[in-house]
Amino acid sequence: MSSATGTFSAPAQVHTFDGLLSDFDGTIVDSTDAIVKHWHKFGNDLGVDPKIILATSHGRRSIDVMGIYDPTKANWDYINEVEGRIPKEYGSDAVEIPGGRDLLAALETSGARWGVVTSGTRPLVHGWLEVLGLPHPKNLVTAMDVPLGKPDPRCYLLGREQLEIEHSTSIVVLEDAPSGILAGKAAGFKVIALKTTHSLEQLQEAGADWIVEDLRSISVKGVVDGQVQIEIKNAYQ
């Protein structure tokens, strides 16, 4: 794939998977403006340039970021409280990724096996879903559920466990960040990357199987014998 000459124009293809696991921030919800404000406040309070924090924080757990800049705050009580406040304080600064609402509704109504695997906390995810009125996933892996965050694959392996298809590698992951793509690939799964927060080159380098602009390129065609049929259109080629 050469980023200089390609376009988002690949013909539609339907692929069948045992289940689907999706990242959250940058993949289903775009809360970039809210998160930028959050880290600016945190950086200013600490006397650390917020730009330095923001350069490495996306797709990583807050507890890991805090561990670098202020280890005294790197505990789950503090992280849950702070992240739970973000949707309340900056709720108007988040929107769904185009196509997100339709995809979640289709996954839910079709009976597909699906879940969310995020570097955020439960209060953060539930807060954004409430603010935006989006379906709550029955299966949810958050930052607290694993000893190491992305790019470590354990979050996605735990996601597979929640779907009750422990031995399957026929799983597709939706991601926007290189750390998440690396985690999905390390788990042995296929990865569809969204070009919502990172450059094409970064997504290619991380090893995404397909790259699309947003969730309008992903749709559920049906569920047959427990397997979900996912159509991918206008992928990068």
Is residue 59 scored above 90 in pLDDT?
A: no
Question: What percentage of the chain has pLDDT greater than the value 90?
Answer: 93
Give the separation between CA 39 and CA 35, rounded to whole angstroms.
6
Determine the CATH number of domain 32-92: 1.10.150.240
Q: What is the mean pLDDT of residues 100-122?
A: 97
Q: What is the mean pLDDT of residues 209-236?
A: 98
Q: Are 237 and 10 in contact (CB under 8 A)?
A: yes
Mean pLDDT across the chain? 95
- Residue 70 CB burial class (10 angstroms; 0-12, 13-18, ≥19): middle
Confidence of residue 213 (pLDDT cuts 50, 70, 90): very high
Give the separation between CA 184 and CA 104, rounded to whole angstroms.
20
Long-range contacts of 213-219 (CB under 8 A, 24+ apart): 213/8, 214/97, 214/98, 214/99, 215/27, 215/28, 215/97, 215/98, 215/99, 215/100, 215/102, 215/103, 215/174, 216/98, 216/99, 217/8, 217/99, 218/99, 218/103, 218/174, 218/192, 219/102, 219/103, 219/106
Instruction: Cite the active site residues.
Output: 23, 25
pLDDT at 1: 47
Is residue 182 scored above 70 in pLDDT?
A: yes
Q: Same topology for domains 8-31+94-236 and 32-92, yes or no?
A: no
Question: pTM of the prediction?
Answer: 0.92
The DSSP result for 81-145, as a single string, is HHHHHHHHHHGGG-EEPTTHHHHHHHHHHHT--EEEE-SS-HHHHHHHHHHHTPPPPSSEE-GGG
Q: Are 14 and 231 in contact (CB under 8 A)?
A: yes
Confidence of residue 4 (pLDDT cuts 50, 70, 90): low
Structure tokens at 128: 């954004």
Q: From start to end of the chain, where are the E strands? A: 13-17, 19-22, 29-30, 95-96, 114-117, 140-141, 171-175, 190-194, 210-212, 218-224, 227-232
Determine the CATH number of domain 8-31+94-236: 3.40.50.1000
What residues does each domain of the chain span?
8-31+94-236, 32-92
CA distances from 217 to 53, 82, 101, 141, 196 (A): 32, 34, 13, 25, 13
